[in-house]
Every structure is written in structure tokens, then in C-alpha cells.
Structure 1
Amino acid sequence: MKSIFRLLFFVIGLSLVNAQEIATTDATTPDGVGFKSKNEFYIFGDAVVIGNNILSKDDKKAFNVLQVNNDDTKMRYVDIDRDPTTFSSSQAALKLPSDFKKIVYAGLYWSATYAYEKGSRKQQKGNYVYKGSGARSKIVNQIKFSLPNQEYQDITGEVIYDGLGSPTHLINSPYVCYADVTKLLKEAEVKSGAYTVANIKATQGYLSGGSAGGWMMYVVYQSPTDNPKYISTYHGFALVNKEEPLDITFENFKSVEKGDVKTSVVVSVLEGDSDLRGDEFAIIKQRDGSFQSLSNGARFQQNFFNSSITNNSIKNRDRLPNSENTFGFDIAKLDIPNYNNTIINNSTSETTLRLKTEADRFYLYFTAFQTEIEQTYFDDIIQDNNPNASVTAYVSPEIVRAQPESDPSYNTKEKRKAYKYTKRSLNSKAFKYLKNKKSAAIAGIEGGYYVISGVFSESLRADKWTTKLIENGLDANAFINPKNNWNYIYLLRSDTAEEAFELTEELKTNYRYRDTWVLKANLD
């Protein structure tokens, strides 16, 4: 049965979309569980992924022999911390750029095959017979997690899927769990550095099909970028076998209208063996509808999922242990090789990824997609004017533009430029767009055109910004949008679009007020 999961647009934000969940399907099937769109971001920023395996041949030493599969290896827990309270532990380093502004989101996942505590095997008449010992714990969602320079914290996650008792997964009983650790990273004094995850449960010894396990953390952060980005993540648990491919379609974006379309994906799977070939990861080519198999120096077209943790063509060795062979646990981040925009065109609003195998099966539990988007599309989103947008659209209280406040520039790789804004006239497309756009419905305020200077989720911060505007000689007022209880600070309410537009354009010539925009409310 061919599976197609569409990421549905649900909540919009200037820099962060709240992590509400819209399930494409809620049903747990014998093969897994329906995927959920976890969150979508429209942001000036980027994302990074780290992680490590928790089963290997040795508990502390790196294992670098690639021609060995977990099927034929007596697996044991990796345990690098020498802490008597942990039975498994591994580590990976997070590196954030020097110009990053803030953590926006951090999602932690762990997954493993776990049919019983330990397994053994013996050969009978040319075949292996497997035997398990030790009752499997039903609690797989409780682990320990440490941030750089911190002690362990107990984490209880959400069980996305547990194959215990499933007819399809009776032999190896895979599971996947998730925890939102955004608050922990936001509050940490040190964010870049070594992260350790401990006490992930899995089957040691031998397991039919091989035992595998590991963890990954996906982090979205704000930072100066040339163009805004669309970043979307979702999770679930899907069996990929040789019956039919698995297709995943991403929507709700519009790539840049001119120039190169820069796109990347992250995918993590369980049971992608190093020495078993035949699995592929592909993306649709917009120009002819065919699928282009993806590959790079670390992953090959006919063996994409090869028991490794990679960032483009480089194996991520900033881990402990830093094994090249991660025994059936894969994390891959790769840029799409979009030469001459042959795969993703300008102004594209949809793309499809395809996973398939002709050999061993594997399990997909996480993927993420990001691409640079058109500035005007970004503006449509943040001004709540996209006709496809949800009525629950939010505007983030914190804005990071393409240039840092202390040293503005439009391209950090070029010579620094002073901020300069060219005002648009009443004959511009921007003004015509304002006149024709759909009016937002906001209860409790008078209809008109509002010149918005800032939107805040916290009243204290809204009061501080209002006071600052007044001290600078501006007539600042505020209203609360009952849809989200956020504070909208405005400098003018006008009956005419002309007056509001001209004031906005004048304010935007000052770098301090570069994010000013016009809200059209209660006029339809």
C-alpha cells in the first residue's frame, strides 16, 4: 500500500510556529503509526541536528568496520559516562554559530528495537535460531538527559509508537519516543557543547534482523540569513520495505523567485544496515516529475541508509563514541544538489521525497525539510494575509531580520553596508496589495488600518516597548488580540490605507523601526 503523508499548514509565525499537532492520521496500524506534522517555521535562521547510537560491539570504543551488520554482531549498550546510575549513554556535540540569536525549538527523539533484554542464537541445520531472555520493560519513554556542563535530568517523553505486541513487529518490537526540550536549551547558560542521553532501552546480544538504537536532537535557531526560510518537521513510525515506496509531500512554502533555490532535508531511520544495499532516498524533479536519487560522498544511491551519522558528505565524528558504523541507526542532513534549479524550481510551493528499498526493511521516524522562501511570501504569512493560512495565525514577538542589529548588512560574507531603506510610493505594488488584501477579523477593536510596531506575548515586554516609543516622540497605543492574547503595539489607526502606508514607509527608513507593518482589520 502506497503511503503519502502531507504536511498540513496549521499555525503560522514570523519566527516560530507553535507546536500544535495536526495528525494526517491518528490510527496505529500493524506497520507503524500515522505521521504528525509537528511544527512549521517561517524564520530568519537555520536548523542543526545531532545524535548518536546506543548499541555497539564495545561499550566505549568507536567501531569503524563498515562491512559488518548488527545482525551478526553481539550487541551491547554503549555507556561512556562511568555513572553507576546509567546502563546506557552516548554523547554528541552541538555547535551553534557565533551570530545565533536564540533557540527557537529543540526536539529530542530516541528509538530502538526492544523485543527482550538479551538475546542469544545458535545454528541449526544451516539456520540461526534466536532465543530471548529477560522480560521487556513496558516503560521506554523515561531517560536521562544532560546539557553542557550540567548534571543529568530525568526526561519523560511521549511514546510515538511501540511495536510490542504488533504482529508485524513481533520479532524486534521497535519503538520511538519524543520530548520537547526547548525550555531546557533556552534556559541553559551554555548551549554549544556536549549533550549526553542515557538509559535508552534496547535488546542486547542477538536479535533476528539485528538490534539497533540511538537518539537525535533537532534544533531550530534564529540567526541573520540572506533570505527567510521555511522549516517543517514531522514524526511518526513507518515501515519501509520492498513492497512499495513511501512518499512524503511538503507544502506551505514558496521558494525564491530568482536565483538558486537552496534546500536541505534531515532524515533519521532505524535499521539501515551498513553492508546491505538496495535502499534509496529520492526527491521529485519539478521539471519532468521523475525522481532523482540522492547521494553524496558519505551516502550512495543504492545504499543511502548505511548506519552512519552525516552532515552532507562528512561523517559527524564530534561524538563519543564516534563510530563510523552506528549499527543500524542513521541520521542524515544533506543539501539537495539543485544545480540550475533542475529539481526545485523558482516559486515552487510543493515537493515530494521518496524512500524505498529492494533489500532489508527499515523504519522512518523523523524527517525535516527546509528551503529559502520568497520575501513577499514571508510578508504575506506574517501579515496574516495568505488565503490558505489558518485563522489561528500568530505573529512572533521577537524578530530577527537578515542583518544583525549591532552591525547591519544584507550579506555577512560581503563588506558591511549601512542600513538604507527606499520608501515605496502609493503607486507601488505593495500599496495596491494592501488596498486589495483581505481584512483580518479581530474582536474588540475599531475597523481601520493599524500601523503595527511590534507584537508581544508578554505584557511586561509590550509595556517596555511602548514606553520606549513614547520616549522617542511617537504616539504608541496597544490592543490585545483575543485569538492569541498577544499585545499589538500600534502607532496609528487610520480610516485610509494611504495615511497608514505613508507613515509606515517613513518609519521604515529608520533601522530601529524597520519591521513596522500595516494591519488591515475589521473592514470586510
Structure 2
Amino acid sequence: MKPQLMRVLLLICISFLGFSNVYSQEKEAIKDRLDYDGVDFKSVNEFYIYGDSKTIGNSILGEHKTNDFNDMNVINDDVKMKYIDIDNDKSTFSSSSAKLKLPDNLKKITYAALYWTATYSLEQGKKRKSKDSYEYKGDFRQNRAIDTVKFKTPNGEYQTIGGNILYDGAKNPTHAINSPYVCFADVTKILRDAEEQNGNYTVANVKASQGYISGGSAAGWMLYIVYQSPTDNPKYIASYNGFALVNNLPVDITFKNFKSVDQGDVKTSLVVSALEGDITLSQDECAIIKRDGSYQSLSNGVRNQQNFFNSSITNNSLLNSDRIPSSRNTLGFDIAELEIPNYNNSIIDNNMSATTLRLKTRSDRFYMYFAAFQTEISQDFFEDVVEEKEPVSKVSTIEPEVIRTTQAEVAKSKRKYVWKPLGKQGFNSKAFKRLVAKRSTLFNDVSKGYYVVTNVFSDSPRARKWEGYLIKKGYTPITITNPKNGWQYVAIMQTESAKEAFTKQQELIQEYQFRDTWIIKVNLD
């Protein structure tokens, strides 16, 4: 063989070996960018708050229109999917519900987001055997908006919700076969205005592929809520969304911007939701980094370490059965709300400020679209965060909350709302009638009246600081002290007229910094 030819062959071999080495390294890499087949996970918002979160949801596809599906041994590909439709309403083609129970000591719903997701490539897929495989046929997705659904609060009427499209696989060749999509909408105001907040929530008209598609069809919805209520320690609560095909490469999501409690046990929990997790296919994991740098695969009584995404809706170690239908097998739709088993603080230690969630699989691919993380944070850190924002109280009847959002959202939130007159609902509203009917709080050596309170403090320095802020804004602060606990209520109006106080309070809550203004009735009975 000629020397020149030998050199060429040698270069080809070296190039091939180099390519093989790079390829094997890539196989072990982590997906930290998802632009090529998904959407990078980003923080939707972060809350520093005395409170907690709650998640409910349900699937929207099943073997039957209304019956529970409890077969735990079936492969999703073998199920001829039909829309679940429980509401007997001719205006809907799909509907399911789930029950929400918020605590009795609830102060306020701070945030509520509705997500809906499905695989939607064919309208009605069919399959037929062809030698050793199946062929799938059907009409491709029609021009039906995926970003619009119907949403109903307990004992309410349907409202049409227009959402944001987080991801649409129909526009990406990688996902053309089953075309998964995810949409979401902020429904905070709807929940706050609902006559009843506890009870069954129904979501309808989620679009999905019926019949058969390659890999099986799946669909569902999720309602994620952050609320204020008294807790022993303040919390950091953050929700993230994106879209990741988890298959041969792990996907990492990093949570940061917190500082866990400085002593004692650290209580931490997660919410994750994904699409296409087959119950019969294992080897998928949800893991979190430990202090030593290794990863701990999460599990509980209803989710195994090696089959975490198993087509179920769970709250810690219990299946959530407060749903209609209450299928044990939700056929490729998963919601998991779980506490992290942080024994001896082996995962989240005192004074930690970041952690990483890792998602991986070795057999069953799945689509991850939502993750939320929360942990107790130190009082000092909470106070430091509060200092950066508007001065709010450490201990308050309306518990303090600090919200960090994107720059665009911050700018929007600081705009002043246009105040609207009370109109017909004002003095005929339930809020005003409750105010007048409510018994007075008894304070010694305090003038009687309705006090329009902008903040409540447990220590004098913070109360003085807030008073200074009000003076700069052109208000005259009036501070009264609760003799039972020493709390200082900083008001900007004291009057014996309920109508005058209510009008002022309604005017103030139109401004972001006074959105939690309330009225205390003192010594009037």
C-alpha cells in the first residue's frame, strides 16, 4: 500500500475514534439547553411568604367517557383513547374535575396558575398491524386553538380561558409524531373573586388525540396555587415551567435565591408534572442532589425510585382520589406533590442557597413541563429580602409576602391602577356588609372607630420605618397597639363611618404597595 494512502486511512481512523469519544461523552452529558427540542426551564415567579402551596388536577383522556380507569398492567399504546366528559354540557367535548381544600386559616390566595397539556397530532388516530410493527393513520390536527379552554370554579359557571402556549410540538419535527403541547394561564383573580374557593374545579375543552397514536396519547390539566397562611417559618416558593423531552440525556433544573433555616430540620417539598409516563414502563427517575454531590432518587409509598412517573396523581404517599373520574391510572399524565425525605438534612442542609433536580430515564421517555420547589427559609434572610422591597411586616395579621418576578412583570405590577368608583356593588357588597356586622376588637386607651390599616408590625423600629414611608407618600400615619400581643397597627385613617373607611380602603388597594390594606373595627360595640 502506498504511504500516502496509508496516511489517509490513518487520519480517517483517528477521526472516527475521536468522533466516537465525543459521542460517548455527549451520551453522558446533561441537557442544560433545550432549544433544539423544547423550551428551557425558567422561573415563573418566586415568593418569600408565610404560607404554602396546593396542587390539584386530572386527566382528560381515558378508555371511557366517565368511568374510572384502574387497569395497572396496560400499555398506553393499547388503549383506544376517548375524551373524558363528565359535565353533561353540550358546549364541551372534554371535561374532568378535581377538588380543592384550602386550610381554614387561609389569609389570601397569592397566585394561581392553570396548566393544560396533551399529545395532539391526529384528531382520531387508527392503527393496523403491518408485519412486525403497527402503522398509524388519521387526519392531522385541525385548525382548533389549543390555547383556549373552559374553566369552572366550585358552583360557578364556565369561563373561557385564553392561555399562553409554552410549547407546541406540531411546529417541531422532533415531536411531529405525537405533537405534545403545553399551555398555561394566570387565574389568580378568578380564584380570588370566586364565591367559593373550596370545592370541585372543572376544566373542559382540552384538545388531544383520540384513538391511537404512536407511543399512546395522553392529556390532563393542573391547577397550582400559592396562598398566605400563618406558618412557623417564612418560606421560599418558586415555580418553573419549560418543556423537556427526557430520554437518553438527563435534564437538570436548578432552584436558587433562597437560604434555608439556620438551625434544625429543613422542611422541603416539590411539585412536578409530566406527560407520557407509562405505568408499565420503568427506569424513569426524579432525583435531587445531596450535600456530597451525589443524587438521591426520590420515592414514596405510591412512586418507586425506578418508576417515578407512573401515570398517577398523588399527594405525598397517597393517591389523590378527590377527582371525577378518580382513575388510579391516568394514562400518561402525572402530578406529584411530595415532601423531600431530608433525613439529618442530608439533602437540604442549614443555610443552603441552591439545589438541583435531575430527571432521567433509561426506557420510557416522558415530557417534563412543570416543577415547583419550596423550603423554609431563615428569618434573617427573609428580613433581608423584605428590606430590598417595600417595607412590610415580619409578623402581621395579613402575613407578609415578597414576590420576585421577571423585570417586565415587576414594571407592570408597580403601575398604579385606575381607581373606579364603588358603584352598585360597593355598599351592597358582601365585604362591606361583613365589615358592618363584625364585632369590634377591644383595645384599651384607643379611640373608637374604623381604622384603615396598611401594615402590622411586631417591633417598633419597623413600624417607625413604615410610618416614615407613609409620610413621604403624603399620608398621616395613625398607630395603635394591641395590648394582648404588642403588635402595632399602622393606619392612615380613623373614622366612625364604615362607608368612609370602606371607600378609602377600596381606593388604596388599587395601588400595588397598598394591595393588602384592610380595616379593623375598634371599640364600637
Cα distance in 1 for partners of 2:244, 2:115 equals 15
Q: Deviations over 1:149-186 (max 9, x none)?
A: 10100011000110113111010000000100000001
Q: Which amino acid aligns with 1:512?
A: Q
TM superposition shift of 1:72: 1.0
Answer whether contact 1:113 1:174 (CA < 8 A) is retained. Answer: yes
Which secondary structure does the structure 2 equivalent of 1:164 belong to?
helix
Q: Deviations over 1:372-430 (max 9, x none)?
A: 0000000000011xxxxxxxx4556xx684x8689xxxxxxxxxxxxxxxxxxxxxxxx
Equivalent residue for 1:273?
278
Equivalent residue for 1:306?
310
Answer whether contact 2:41 2:253 (CA < 8 A) is retained. Answer: no
Cα distance in 1 for partners of 2:60, 2:398 equals 42
Q: Sort the Cα spacing of 1:100 and 1:400 in 2 relative to 1 into closer, same or farther, 3 A.
A: farther
Cα distance in 1 for partners of 2:179, 2:255 equals 29
Cα distance in 2 for partners of 1:376, 1:4 equals 35
The normalised TM-score by structure 1 is: 0.73
Equivalent residue for 1:435?
none
**Superposition map of 1:145-184 within 5 A:** 145-184=151-190
**Superposition map of 1:195-234 within 5 A:** 195-234=201-240
**Superposition map of 1:476-491 within 5 A:** 478-479=469-470
Cα distance in 2 for partners of 1:35, 1:359 equals 23
TM superposition shift of 1:138: 4.8
Answer whether contact 2:456 2:490 (CA < 8 A) is retained. Answer: no
Q: Sort the Cα spacing of 1:464 and 1:176 in 2 relative to 1 into closer, same or farther, 3 A.
A: same
Cα distance in 2 for partners of 1:380, 1:478 equals 18
Q: Sort the Cα spacing of 1:362 and 1:405 in 2 relative to 1 into closer, same or farther, 3 A.
A: closer
Which secondary structure does the structure 1 equivalent of 2:453 belong to?
helix
**Superposition map of 1:37-116 within 5 A:** 37-116=43-122
Q: Which amino acid aligns with 1:77?
A: Y
Answer whether contact 1:466 1:489 (CA < 8 A) is retained. Answer: no
TM superposition shift of 1:512: 3.0
Answer whether contact 1:272 1:329 (CA < 8 A) is retained. Answer: yes
Equivalent residue for 1:496?
none
Equivalent residue for 2:269?
264
Equivalent residue for 2:192?
186
Q: Sort the Cα spacing of 1:277 and 1:191 in 2 relative to 1 into closer, same or farther, 3 A.
A: same
2:231 corresponds to 1:255: no
Equivalent residue for 2:147?
141
Which secondary structure does the structure 1 equivalent of 2:177 belong to?
coil
Identity of aligned residues (%): 56
Q: Deviations over 1:201-256 (max 9, x none)?
A: 000000001100000010000000000000000111111102x2111111010101
Equivalent residue for 2:333?
329
Cα distance in 1 for partners of 2:191, 2:284 equals 35
2:351 corresponds to 1:347: yes
Cα distance in 2 for partners of 1:33, 1:265 equals 21
Equivalent residue for 2:487?
511
TM superposition shift of 1:37: 1.1
The normalised TM-score by structure 2 is: 0.73
Equivalent residue for 2:453?
465
- Structure 1 residue ranges without an equivalent (≥5): 6-24, 385-392, 407-454, 482-486, 493-502, 516-524
Report how many aligned residue pairs link the two structures. Answer: 413
Q: Sort the Cα spacing of 1:259 and 1:187 in 2 relative to 1 into closer, same or farther, 3 A.
A: same
Equivalent residue for 2:379?
375
**Superposition map of 1:401-420 within 5 A:** 401=395
TM superposition shift of 1:70: 1.5
Cα distance in 2 for partners of 1:290, 1:257 equals 23
Answer whether contact 2:456 2:488 (CA < 8 A) is retained. Answer: no
Answer whether contact 2:97 2:325 (CA < 8 A) is retained. Answer: yes
Is the helix fraction higher in 1 or 2? 2
Which secondary structure does the structure 2 equivalent of 1:232 belong to?
strand
Q: Deviations over 1:452-507 (max 9, x none)?
A: xxx998899xx9337999xxxx99565598xxxxx597869xxxxxxxxxx9x999
Answer whether contact 2:45 2:238 (CA < 8 A) is retained. Answer: yes
Cα distance in 1 for partners of 2:171, 2:455 equals 61
Which secondary structure does the structure 2 equivalent of 1:183 belong to?
helix
| Larger Rg belongs to | 2
Q: Sort the Cα spacing of 1:278 and 1:489 in 2 relative to 1 into closer, same or farther, 3 A.
A: farther
Equivalent residue for 1:412?
none
Aligned residues: CA RMSD: 3.3
Q: Which amino acid aligns with 2:299?
A: S
Q: Sort the Cα spacing of 1:361 and 1:468 in 2 relative to 1 into closer, same or farther, 3 A.
A: closer
- Structure 2 residue ranges without an equivalent (≥5): 1-25, 400-413, 420-450, 458-463, 492-525
